[in-house]
Amino acid sequence: MKKGKKLYEGKAKIIYATNDKNLVIQYFKDDATAFNNQKKSTIEGKGVLNNRISEHILSNLSQIGIKNHLVKRLNMREQVIMLVEIIPIEFIVRNVATGSITKRLGIEDGTVLKEPLIEYCLKDDKLGDPLISEEHILAFDWSTKKEIEKVKKMILRINDFMIGMFRGVGIKLIDFKLEFGRLKIDGKDEVILADEISPDTCRLWDSITDKKLDKDRFRKNLGDLIPAYTEVAKRLGILHEQSNVSAVNVTKLSSIKRKQQ
Ligand code: 5GP
């Protein structure tokens, strides 16, 4: 497969064309942003870890029948994915109230929700990804009733699966963000899971200590982001190297591999 020109650059990823019109390459950057781009930094090794963690989760979801865009991981920072038309909505799934919902609605931080709560945000950085309702989505044709119904069913299965997967390794899945895309499979319109699922897009707390193992370490200046993401990868059984492997080593390994290719 040949890597073509850059099609799109986002805050944490770059999409490149390939010689197959249906496939693109997703490159995971080390850049971290928060608060609608007001806080920015580069954290060496973050992209490598997110690539591996997202590959692991999406492959597992595929095995339980959740169609998604992942074709295969290419190397330490890149994966081949199916080209989809992204639905311009961020689907937020909450099991425990924390983050924006606590400020917006005055809910006590850490409140366990009776049922998973799905929120919709318009994917628009200029507007700060505002919260929207299902009625907004239908009124402005951002998605259809049929798509939303399909997506909601997928979200609940994804959430159930991920809660169990993380619980098994001593992590609580607090909340996360998903994106979905449209494509035609055998001439039929389909909606599939897209983007990434990683500690950048989830809140993950240690089951016993509530230690934050996600991007809140960057947002809240808690430090040690790479050790936290490495901990998630190790617990999921993704990193088999010596117990003290650091993402910096992973990055070095990646550059050695690139030179060898
Ligand atoms: P909140 O609305 O509390 O800020 O975020 C809820 C969840 O969705 C968190 O797990 C957060 O990481 C994720 N999330 C929401 N918006 C974004 C976004 O624009 N980028 C990323 N990476 N994650 C997001």
How far is ligand 1, taken at its centre, from the CA of residue 260, in Å?
Answer: 37
Question: To test ligand 1's pocket by mutation, which of 109, 125, 126, 177 has the most ligand atoms within 8 angstroms of CB?
Answer: 177
- 239 pLDDT band, cuts 50/70/90, is confident
Given this model, what pLDDT does residue 244 score? 40
149-194 tens-digit pLDDT: 999 999 999 999 999 999 999 999 999 999 999 999 889 999 999 9
Which domains does the chain carry? 3-84+226-260 (3.30.200.20), 85-206 (3.30.470.20)
Q: Are 244 and 177 in contact (CB under 8 A)?
A: no
Instruction: For residues 55 and 174, give the distance between their C-alpha atoms in angstroms, rounded to a whole number.
Output: 20
- Which protein residues touch ligand 1 with a CB less than 6 Å away? 90, 92, 99-101, 129, 175-177, 200-203, 215
What pTM does this model have? Answer: 0.92
How far is ligand 1, taken at its centre, from the CA of residue 151, in Å?
Answer: 18
How far is ligand 1, taken at its centre, from the CA of residue 30, in Å?
Answer: 17
How far is ligand 1, taken at its centre, from the CA of residue 200, in Å?
Answer: 8
Nearest CA to ligand 1 atom 16: 177
Instruction: For residues 193 and 160, give the distance between their C-alpha atoms in angstroms, rounded to a whole number.
Output: 15
The whole-number average pLDDT for the span 44-52 is 98
- 257 pLDDT band, cuts 50/70/90, is very low
Instruction: For residues 217 and 228, give the distance between their C-alpha atoms in angstroms, rounded to a whole number.
Output: 8
Q: Are 171 and 204 in contact (CB under 8 A)?
A: yes
How far is ligand 1, taken at its centre, from the CA of residue 154, in Å?
Answer: 19
Chain centroid, CA 73 distance in Å: 15
How far is ligand 1, taken at its centre, from the CA of residue 39, in Å?
Answer: 14
204-234 tens-digit pLDDT: 999 999 999 999 999 999 999 999 999 999 9
**Is pLDDT at 57 greater than 90 in this prediction?**
yes
Considering only CA atoms, which of 29, 25, 24 is closest in space to residue 10?
29
In ligand 1, the atom with minimum distance to the C-alpha of 200 is 22
- 36 pLDDT band, cuts 50/70/90, is confident
- 243 pLDDT band, cuts 50/70/90, is very low
Q: Tell me how far CA of residue 65 lies from CA of 37, 60, 62, 157, 196, in angstroms.
A: 35, 9, 5, 10, 17
Contacts of 132 (CB under 8 A, 6+ apart): 89, 120, 121, 122, 142
Question: What sign results for the dihedral spanned by CA atoms 95, 137, 200, 223?
Answer: negative
